[in-house]
Structure 1
């Protein structure tokens, strides 16, 4: 979503919203403009009272009081996260979407672990933009609603949709900010970059698997991340053999599509040791010989959601020029059944020398991550974070409410949880107890099994398995995003609409940015 050049300054609002001189309400459809303005819902003597934001007050003044007089007729209709559209209040803006912000002085909600103010603004901006978009407007201005960054995120995420393969595409409106002060332009731009990054992850995750094989993914990333700050290396199957990545290679054996291993390097942190992101890149997961049920198997085009998220995170880190050193590792494969596929009970040796019995070929994500985690030791990282649509058990545990986290670092988790509360895309911590490691590591004939022996705790045993491949004495986080991948089963985040969600991309971006603020 491009940022319009004609951003408005409130102190010069009158230049953009001129006093009525002649009726231009019936201008052509292409020239119609809309504006999103906010109102607070305050309680006064047991009654709800609408309070205008500063931008709404200025608009009301320049519309000669028409905004306020019209609001009186629909006061009960405008609630938090809901919008109401007025027409013909001013000649320069044919439509005005008034969107509800709820109470003015919202605070952090410790029970919900969320910054209620920021999340309300995202919802309100998205609702206002959606109302104007549905009314056919293609040029929309949005006020900051109290936080320009959150307003931009809601606006850009809410107006985007995946429609790459439709013959006739819907128009996506151009959205710009109506500035309250000059400093908010930077905040708006930052929100636009983060929202565009999440939309990139949404697009990648929703792309059909025949159009995003490991080879095509590598080619597209080389174009998307074309930057003087990013070095892109696409390693092939022969390279992986030399690196003794047998766990990674074993998953690709059943597919005619060759595996790829992406290594992306961003060096803006001088001589500091790098942070490492590892994203699971299974471009389609049929389960291998342990084949999945056919119901909703098409969703497995997004089993590379981890790869999409780390790619989008690097995109934003570069655009925001965050001064860090970052390595992004993406093992890319298809997991298919065939005569050459790995079979249940087969034993392989991973890059770090540990042997693995593959009792379930549908537990393939941990195999490709195991070799990627082992490879990360080459860079002596400050910390390693891997993210994957790893287990259906995580969807059972958390649904779409949060991303599950396993970590050996209280310090890093506290940072991650704090930033996730700000982004509205939360995380929740799970245990890394020896109890779960024993279920995969106590074997007579080999070192590890790729599934646990007991019932339940599938996400925990998967994390315990991965821990065996983390570089020694390295801080590490494992994020299981299976529940938040999408499509959304509910409307908990209306600004994401249908399809894959791109979560938790904005949380990853903020996590990396937070490292430089400590």
Structure 2
């Protein structure tokens, strides 16, 4: 917050949470109480961005006021950070303020649009979300509402975007015995049941077999949980025959590593190895709620990766749907086997573009950490839409190389057409994984999103609590929205 000489306050930089009985208002408009706070010698120094301060007994109608710092004035796109800094500041401030209200056990918060109602709604809904379904003692439920009605449409859009990401967070956070392949599919089907322009097909193992998805089945056979191939058709376009956007998501509902067993430390987090499926399916649920005017098909191969007498062994060779043979040199590089068959199947729909998401490689986490999703693509047109969408959502993407250099490392294979890990094993692991997937793509517009680094949140994103992040769901939704408005053919 900045001030002019004297005691005048630019309240645009500060958010306000007003408590009136059981309702709290977050406002940024001038009111006599606001000026009174900053004339008070006990009010303290100006608030820094994202920090809060609570005042009590200022006015009989507003017994409690929580003040939240919104940061600098008139900030927009930060080219160094590759996001809209103003939107991020609003998301963070509103999230922090709403959590403060939750701690006060006040059930409703009325939020001022803060100059960007969509960002304010996203901050409120994302900031309050927490997976506590299995706990007996739960935090008080706080319902955020817009103060006033002037920007209700933008507010509702923000709520819908945030609820989409929260759906992905829910699916990723839930224990693996609660979200099995069939339970995942049924949960998504239930979310889409009310939309007349959506069809959901839950394909059983017998169907997967008839489709000759040998790579997918080779992973699934190691588990007692039967595999599922989830197929979603959202027909929002003016012409249902228009070429669809196809989303493909890796759906390993628990990844032990198989015979190439992972270390036990941290293995519980592998319940979220279906983050790709969670984000793309949640994006389609959100697209349907927004009634986006385009056709989308979602594909999610769902299974567990477990060690057993039937599991893949290092050195096994399996055959993918397109006939290519794959040498399985590491059974913990299983997600790309599922995606190989799903990507082949995606071409059946004459797609406008194919975008797949997967928690694919630890190497992606090493490369970018949690700052951004790594994007490998053969299409600059597709990249531009993804990148511009991410600037608005604050859930950033970063383009990674898809060089022939990496293709040679996965195709130089002694027993099969391609190896599921690179010739030099760990070197450039995220890049060789993308090169592997490219062997199963003929579409001119394809993007692979490696979301391993953004799978969870510790404290990096201040408007998300610690836990599974559901990223980059909002970026996928914004990307689809932008694509629906692009009347030009992909070039």
Stretches of 4+ moved more than 6 A in 1? 52-61
Structure-to-structure mapping, 1:342-353, within 5 angstroms? 342-353=312-323
Alignment partner, residue 314 of structure 1: 284
Matches within 5 A, 1:448-467: 448-454=418-424, 455-467=426-438
Q: How does 1:388-427 map to 2 (within 5 A)?
A: 388-427=358-397
Given candidates 264, 273, 285, the residue that maps to 2:232 is 264
Q: Distance in 1 between matches of 2:230 and 2:220?
A: 15
> Which of residues 465, 474, 481 in structure 2 aligns to 1:506?
474
Query: Counterpart in 2 of 1:96?
Result: 65
Distance 1:101 1:447 in 2: 55
In the alignment, which residue of structure 1 is the partner of 2:156?
189
Q: Is the 8 A contact 1:247 1:367 kept in 2?
A: yes
CA deviations over 1:282-326 (Å, ceiling 9, x no partner):
000000100100010000000001111011101110111101100
Name 1:135's counterpart in structure 2.
104
Q: CA deviation at 1:71?
A: 5.9
* 8 Å Cα contact 1:286-1:335 kept in structure 2: yes
For 1:223, which of 190, 193, 202 is the aligned residue?
A: 190
Q: Distance in 2 between matches of 1:506 and 1:71?
A: 41
Structure 1: which 5+ runs fail to align? 1-39
Cα deviation for residue 55 of structure 1 reads 8.6
Name 1:199's counterpart in structure 2: 166
Structure 2 unmatched runs, 5+: 18-25, 487-491
Structure 1 residues 90 and 252: alpha-carbon distance in aligned structure 2, compared to 1, 3 A threshold: same
Q: Distance in 2 between matches of 1:211 and 1:241?
A: 26
- Asked if structure 2 preserves the Cα contact closer than 8 Å seen for 1:347 and 1:356, the reply is yes
User: How far has the Cα of 1:490 moved from its partner?
Assistant: 4.3
Q: CA RMSD in A?
A: 2.2
CA shift at 1:517, angstroms? 2.6
Give the whole-Å Cα distance in 2 for the aligned partners of 1:212 and 1:108: 38
SS in 2 for 1:347: strand
Q: Structure 1 residue 287 and structure 2 residue 257: aligned?
A: yes
CA contact (8 A) 1:60 1:66 kept: no
Of 237, 254, 270, the match for 2:222: 254
The alpha carbon displacement at 1:353 in A equals: 0.6
Q: Report deviation, 1:442.
A: 1.8
**Displacement of 1:113 after TM fit?**
0.7
Q: In structure 1, what is the equivalent of residue 204 of structure 2?
A: 236
Q: 2:274 aligns with which of 299, 304, 308?
A: 304
> Given the superposition, is the C-alpha separation of residues 60 and 469 from structure 1 closer, same or farther in structure 2, using an over 3 Å criterion?
closer
Q: How many residues align?
A: 473
TM-score normalised by L of structure 2: 0.92
TM-aligned CA distance change 1:517 to 1:44, over 3 Å: farther
Query: Whole-Å Cα distance in 2 between the matches of residues 134 and 58 of structure 1?
Result: 19
What TM-score do you get using the length of structure 1 for normalisation? Answer: 0.87
CA deviation map 1:110-169 (0-9, x unaligned): 111110100000011111111111122111111111100000000111111110100121
Whole-angstrom CA distance in 2 between matches of 1:393 and 1:365 = 14
| Counterpart pick for 2:118 among 149, 152, 157 | 149
Distance (whole Å) between structure 1 residues aligned to residue 220 and residue 15 of structure 2 = 58
Alignment of 1:67-106 (within 5 A): 67-69=36-38, 73-106=42-75
**Which secondary structure does the structure 1 equivalent of 2:105 belong to?**
coil
Shift of 1:54: 11
User: Could you tell me which residue of structure 2 aligns to residue 41 of structure 1?
Assistant: 2
Question: Residue 461 of structure 2: which of 473, 493, 508 is its match?
Answer: 493
Give the equivalent residue in structure 2 for 1:361: 331
Q: Deviations over 1:406-441 (max 9, x none)?
A: 000111111111111111110111100010000111
> In 2, distance between residues paired with 1:111 and 1:60?
31
Instruction: Report SS of the residue matched to 2:145.
Output: strand
The range that moved more, 148-157 or 83-92, is: 83-92
Query: Could you tell me how far apart the structure 2 residues matched to 1:278 and 1:315 are?
Result: 14
Distance apart, 1:49 and its partner CA: 6.9
User: In the alignment, which residue of structure 1 is the partner of 2:489?
Assistant: none
Describe the SS at the equivalent of 1:211. Answer: coil
The answer to whether the Cα contact below 8 Å between 1:41 and 1:79 also exists between their aligned partners in 2 is: no
Aligned mates of 1:58, 1:252 — CA distance in 2: 52
Query: 1:391-417, CA deviations, whole angstroms, 9 ceiling, x for partnerless residues?
Result: 000011111111000000111111111
Given that 2:201 and 2:231 are in contact with CA atoms closer than 8 Å, whether structure 1 keeps it comes out as yes
Q: 1:73 to 1:304 in 2, by over 3 A?
A: same
* Cα offset, 1:51, TM superposition: 5.5
- 2:147 aligned residue (168, 178, 185): 178
* Residues 125/65 of structure 1: CA separation in 2 closer, same or farther (3 Å cut): closer
Alpha-carbon separation, structure 2, partners of 1:289 and 1:434: 30
User: Judging changes above 3 Å, is the alpha-carbon distance between structure 1 residues 59 and 301 closer, same or farther for their aligned structure 2 residues?
Assistant: closer
